[in-house]
Amino acid sequence: MTKPLFRGVCASTVTPFTSDGRPDLPRIGPHIDWIIADGAQALSPLGSSGEFAALDSGERRAVLEAAIDANAGRLPVVAGTHHCRTSEAVELSKHAERAGADALLIVPPYYMAPTPSQVMDHYRRIADAVSIPIVLYHNIPLTAVDLRTDHLVRLFEEGAIGGVKMSNSEPDRICSLLQATAGKLFVYAGIDTVAFEGLCHGAHGWISGIPSMVPGVARRVHDAIAASDLVTAREWWAKLAPLMRMQFSAYHSRGEGAHWFSVMKAALNFLGPPVGDPCPPVLPLEPEHCRHLAVILRDLGYRLEVPL
C-alpha cells in the first residue's frame, strides 16, 4: 500500500441534489470548504452520508471527482467505492485511485448476504487491483454481513485491508480488533454511540455523523482523549450527547423519531452552505425535530445561518 491511513476526525461529506434528483456538483465545493474550516482532519465522500446507494456508477465517479477537486489536496480523502458486484467495486476503486483518493472505504456486498469467505474474497480482489489502502466498512444492519475479529485480522495480515470502520454498537468490537493486531490495524469508531469508548480504547479515528455535522466539536472530544484529558473529553461529550441521541432516535427504535440522515442534512443546512434535502424515500427533517436540533446546535456554540 503506497499511502498511510489517516488519524483523527473524518467527515463523511454529503451529496447535494438538484430539484430533479441529480447530483448538484457545484454545491460540493462550498460544503467541503465549510467542513474543513470547522476542523475535520480527513474527508470521506460517498459513504452512507454521501447517499451512494441512490447514485449510479457514473454519478458516483462525478461526485468523487468534484470532491477531490474541491479538497485540492488539503486533507486525506477516503473514497467510498462500494458495490454489491465485485467487478464494479473493482472498477470504482481503480477510478478513485486514478482520481487522487488516498484510501478507499468499502462496505461488504449488500442484500445478497454472501458468506464470510465470499466477502473476504471480494476484498482480496479489490486489493489486487489497487495500491491505496482499503478501510472495510463494518455495518451489519445495512449489509447482513458480520465478519468476526478473526476474519478481519486475516484480511489485514494478507494485506487486503489496512483499516476497519467499525459501525457496531458494541464497544468491545473495537477493543478486540485493536488488541488482536497490537494497534497495527487502523480501527475507526464508525457510529457515534460508541465513539467515546472506542477512542478511549485507542481507535485511530472517528468516522460518523457527528464528525460530519460538527467536526470542530468532534475534534475537541478526540483531541482531549488523545491527550488523556478525560475531564475535558467528558465535558464535551456531555454537550454532544443530545445530538447523538437525537440523530439515532429512529435508528435505535426502528422507526420512531428522527431519521439519522435527515438530521445530518438539516444540521448542515443550518450551519453552512446549503446542501439541500435527502434523496427520497428519506425526507427532510420534520419541523418539530428541526426546532430541537436548532437548540442543540446553539448549545454547542454554533451560529445558525438559516433562522427557524
Strand ordering across the sheet containing 163-166: 42-43, 8-11, 205-208, 186-189, 163-166, 134-138, 103-106, 78-80
Residue 298's contacts (CB-CB under 8 Å, 6 or more residues apart) are 304
At 299, the pLDDT band (50, 70, 90 cuts) reads very high
253, pLDDT greater than 80: no
308, pLDDT greater than 70: no
- Burial class (CB within 10 angstroms; exposed 0-12, middle 13-18, buried 19+) of 57: middle
25-91-162 Cα angle (round to 5): 95
Alpha-carbon distance of 151 to 156, in angstroms, equals 9
CA-based nearest residue to 210, from 202, 200, 220, 224: 220
At 307, the pLDDT band (50, 70, 90 cuts) reads low
Residue matched to cell numbers 478513485: 96
Alpha-carbon distance of 193 to 188, in angstroms, equals 13
pLDDT of residue 250: 86
At 289, the pLDDT band (50, 70, 90 cuts) reads very high
Torsion of CA 146, 149, 151, 156, to 10 degrees: 120
- Terminal-residue alpha carbon distance, the chain: 48
Alpha-carbon distance of 124 to 118, in angstroms, equals 10
Q: Is 184 a catalytic residue?
A: no
SS (H, E, C) 87-132: HHHHHHHHHHHHHCCCEEEECCCCCCCCCHHHHHHHHHHHHHHCCC
Q: Is 3 a catalytic residue?
A: no
Per DSSP, the three-state class of 286 is coil
Superfamily of 8-229 according to CATH: Aldolase class I (3.20.20.70)
Beta-carbon count within 10 A of 151 CB:
17
Alpha-carbon distance of 282 to 266, in angstroms, equals 12
Alpha-carbon distance of 233 to 214, in angstroms, equals 15
pLDDT tens-digit readout, 114-152: 999 999 999 999 999 999 999 999 999 999 999 999 999
Residue matched to cell numbers 494497534: 183
- Catalytic residue (one of 137, 188, 251, 302): 137
Residue matched to cell numbers 473495537: 174
Beta-carbon count within 10 A of 291 CB:
11
Residue 256 phi/psi, 5-degree rounding, is: -90, 130
- Catalytic residue (one of 110, 111, 165, 184): 165
pLDDT of residue 252: 77
C-alpha cell at 84: 454489491
Q: For the chain, which residues make up each domain, given as ranges?
A: 8-229
39, pLDDT greater than 70: yes
What is the mean pLDDT of the segment spanning 231-247?
97
At 2, the pLDDT band (50, 70, 90 cuts) reads low
Alpha-carbon distance of 302 to 180, in angstroms, equals 40
